[in-house]
Amino acid sequence: MVLLLSLLFSTAALAVDPLVTIKNGTLAGINGTKYNQDLFLGIPYAQPPLGNLRYRLPQSLNWRWKTPKDVKSYGPRCWERAGPLPGETDDVVHNEDCLTLSVIRPKDAKGLLSVVVWIHGGDLVNGGSSFPRYDMQNFVGVSQKYGQPVVAVSIQYRLGGFGFLGGSEVLKEKVANLGWHDQRLSLRWIQENIAAFGGNKDKVTIWGQSAGAQSVGAHLVGWGGDTEGLFRGAISQSGGPISYEGFRNITFLDDHYAQLLNSTNCTSLDCLRTVPAKTLSTYFRAYDRPYSLPMVDGLIYTELPSISVKNGRFPKIPYMIGTCSDEEALYTPLDINTGADVFNFLKNAGPSDSLSDATVNRVMELYPNSPPSNLPLTYAQRNRCRGAIQAGRYLCY
């Protein structure tokens, strides 16, 4: 009987929710039994950008929770466009109240651990902490396995037309590139609170893939190259400080902004703040690319990032940059079978309306049709195209 009671009490003790007290109150997480971790999921780091806070810079939380706040699930994702990969689905809850981050820490770790901040990709139009492939439990689990445990944080930020709306009125109100402002605020939150989770605020590395890698680049060359001490290192996978197709001219952005106003029967940004989120999301999903492009806004960027890089206006900190294998394979059409197909695709794949014939021919010289012996010739043409696009979009920085 004594042994049975002892076992019951031991089991109950193991099941106790992990608690952490931060600036805004106490958080109640959940036990991660897969790798013996504590999970704190869907923690708000900003006021919900609802109502009049839509199309505004993110605002820090200005309240305290009187009782422990449950942070045991990721919560809603930011409004996004569904995609073809696992997790890119409509079968999740979307809401503008999505500015959250999630913290994964090893249970019973000793001392303050290094911190890795994951910024998800998704073309600045989709993604979120709850994506299966972005599950930071696995990453922290590997760090535990090799005796180098870390604390991992994944962040959510406004996407598409909610986070990267462009145009002259947007510039005038200084509310461009809001998704990157969201990320910046989350990094400030981490500085204020990560020690409570066992993380070392002086050993933070930001890390992103694709649009997340581009976001890492924004934090390197944006804000005048000032990291504000928010991180000491950075990693970019398939992206970097210079976007190949961002930073369109203001006429292009104004034209699409006018189309949005016309579609919603609005005449101003104030009016757009009153449009139902679902209505805006439906529109942005249909015409997403013009509404997910960064701008030289005078706050994050005062000049093109290429000029900042050229003139050395970036922090001198450790930086790893590279590309994921086959990053561009998903976006290279399947019906590229001939050299003419390659030419036509590359012709319209650049940052402007089209590349010159001379430029396309030079790219094709650099990426000849020389397939491995085990590839059919038709597939080799597509692979050739994929390689050229991948290098242009993700390596030429």
For residues 113-134, average pLDDT = 91
Question: Is the distance from CB of 21 to CB of 196 less than 8 angstroms?
Answer: yes
DSSP type of residue 264: T
Mean pLDDT lowest among 16-30, 314-328, 378-392: 378-392
> Tens digits of per-residue pLDDT, 316-331?
999 998 877 666 666 6
Q: Is 259 helix (H, G, I), strand (E, B) or coil?
A: helix
pLDDT band at residue 12, thresholds of 50, 70 and 90? very low
Question: pTM here?
Answer: 0.87
Query: Where along the chain do its domains lie?
Result: 2-249+287-322, 330-395
| Percent of the residues in the chain that have a pLDDT greater than 70, as a whole number | 85
Tokens 């050299």, located at residue: 339
Q: How far apart (Å, rounded) are the C-alpha atoms in residues 395 and 137? A: 29
pLDDT band at residue 288, thresholds of 50, 70 and 90? confident
Considering only residues 366 and 219, tell me which one the structure prediction assigns the higher pLDDT: 219
Q: What is the pLDDT of residue 221?
A: 94
- 10 Å Cβ neighbour count for 118? 23
| Percent of the residues in the chain that have a pLDDT greater than 90, as a whole number | 57
DSSP type of residue 76: P
Tokens 């920085």, located at residue: 397
Let me know the angle formed at the C-alpha of 342 by 337 and 348, rounded to the nearest 5 degrees.
135
For residues 210-219, average pLDDT = 93
pLDDT band at residue 72, thresholds of 50, 70 and 90? very high
Q: What is the pLDDT of residue 267?
A: 96
Considering only residues 393 and 70, tell me which one the structure prediction assigns the higher pLDDT: 70
Q: Is 326 helix (H, G, I), strand (E, B) or coil?
A: coil
In whole numbers, what is the pLDDT of the chain averaged over residues? 87
Report, at the CATH architecture level, how domain 2-249+287-322 is classified.
3-Layer(aba) Sandwich (3.40)
Q: Are strands 319-322 and 69-70 parallel, antiparallel or unpaired?
A: unpaired
Considering only residues 54 and 241, tell me which one the structure prediction assigns the higher pLDDT: 54
Closest CA to 60 of 243, 158, 182: 182
Mean pLDDT lowest among 45-59, 61-75, 264-278, 348-362: 348-362
